[in-house]
Chain A
C-alpha cells in the first residue's frame, strides 16, 4: 500500500474547464455536420 500523497485536484482545473467548454461548443456543430 503506497503512503499518503496529497493530490491537488485544482491544479489543472482551468485547462479541464477549457477542454469541456471546447467539447460542448464542438459537439452540436459536429452532429449537425454529420447529419447534413
Chain B
C-alpha cells in the first residue's frame, strides 16, 4: 500500500480501487465450524432461490397453498425478523432522543443489524410473492395497491432501509477516510433517526395489521382488534432481546476490536437493556390479560389451543420478565441473557401463531402447513448470508471499535 493509503486517505479513484481490493481479502480463519456449516448452506440456498424464481411457489418448492398462503418466509423471515430489527429504532430513540449516551457504544452494531435485517427480509418478501417481478409496483405505480397494508409495508421498508443507511453511513465514510463526507453524513444522523423511529412505529404495527382481515381464520384467543398494538409493543422487547443476544456473541467473536472502556461499560449496558425489557414486558403482559378479559374467551382456555395460549403467555412473557427483573436486581448477566433468548423464542412462536399455528387451527394436522426442506434451507441461507455480511462489515469498518481520531474530534 502507498503512503496515502497508510494514512487512510482516498484521494483518487485508483486509491479507491486499491483499497477495495485489499478490503475484499478474507480476514480471520477460513475453516471454522460456522463457516463450514453456513457456506454450503448459502450456496445451496442461492441455487434453490434461482429454482424458486424460475419454477414458482408450488410444491415441491413450498407447501404454501390457498389454505395457507403464508409460511415461514413471511412468519419467520419477515414478521419475526423485522420484530428483531426493532432494536435499532428503540436504541436510537434512547440514545439520540432521550440522550442516554451510556448506550452509544452499541448503537452502530444495532443500526447495522437493523439495516441488514430489513435488506435481507425485504428479499424474503420478494421470494414469497407469486409474481415477484411485480415487486416494484407499489413504488412505480403500475397498480399501487393502496387498499393493502402491504403498500404501507413496502414503502416503509424502503424508506426505513434508507434512513438506517444514512444513520450508518458515517461509519462507511470513516472506513473510506472521507472526512468531509463524514461531517455531512454526521449532520444527517438526527433527522434520519427521527424519521426512522416515526416509520418504525407504523410498520411494526402494520405487520400485525396484515392479519386483521383474517378474522375467523385466526383463533379467537389470538385475534383481536389490538393486534397492531401488540406487535408494536412486542417489537420493543423483541428488538432489545436481539441486541442483547447479538451483543453477547459479537463481544466474544470481535473482542479484540473492543477497547477496555467499552468492555467495562458493557455490563451496565446489558443491565439497562434488561430493565427496559422487563418494564415493557410487564406492560405487555397486562395488555394481553386486558385483551383476554375484553374478549370473554374464558371457555376457550380449557382447550388445546387454550393451553398453548397460556403456555405462550406464562412461559414466554411472564417468565422471561421475571428473569429480566432478577437479572437487573442482582446484576446477573446470565439471567438477562437467558431471558433474552426465551423472549426471542416467544416472539418467533407468537409471529408463527398468526401465520400458521393459530391460523386455521380447526383444520386437522394432515391439512396443516409444514415447511418444505427447500423453504427451510432458503430461510437458513438468508440468515447465514446476513451474518456473513455483518461479519464482513464489522471486521473492516469502525462498528465495534472506536472511530478514527479525526472523526472523534468532530
Contact = CB atoms under 8 A, between A and B. Distances in A.
B43 to A, nearest CB: 47
Contacts of B216: 2
Given A34-B275, A34-B278, A35-B275, A19 B290 contact: yes
A19 B282 contact: no
A27 B290 contact: no
Nearest to B275: A34
A19 B325 CA distance: 21
Interface in A1-36: 2, 9, 11-12, 15-16, 19-20, 22-23, 26-27, 30-31, 33-36
Interface majority SS (helix, strand, loop, mixed), chain A:
helix
Nearest to A23: B286
Given A2-B216, A11-B296, A34-B325, A19 B286 contact: yes
Interface string B276-297: 0011001100100110011010
B328 interface: yes
Contact of B293 (A15, A33, A34, A36): A15
Contacts of B275: 34-35
A30 B282 contact: yes
By CB atoms of chain A within 10 A, which of B283, B290, B325 has the most?
A: B290
A30 B279 CA distance: 8
Question: What 7 pairs between A and B have smallest CB-CB spacing?
Answer: A23-B286, A34-B275, A19-B290, A12-B293, A15-B293, A34-B328, A16-B293
Given A9-B294, A34-B275, 20 more contacts: A2-B216, A12-B294, A16-B290, A16-B293, A16-B294, A19-B289, A19-B290, A22-B286, A23-B286, A26-B282, A27-B279, A27-B282, A30-B282, A31-B279, A34-B278, A34-B279, A34-B328, A34-B329, A35-B275, A36-B329
Interface of A: 2, 9, 11-12, 15-16, 19-20, 22-23, 26-27, 30-31, 33-36
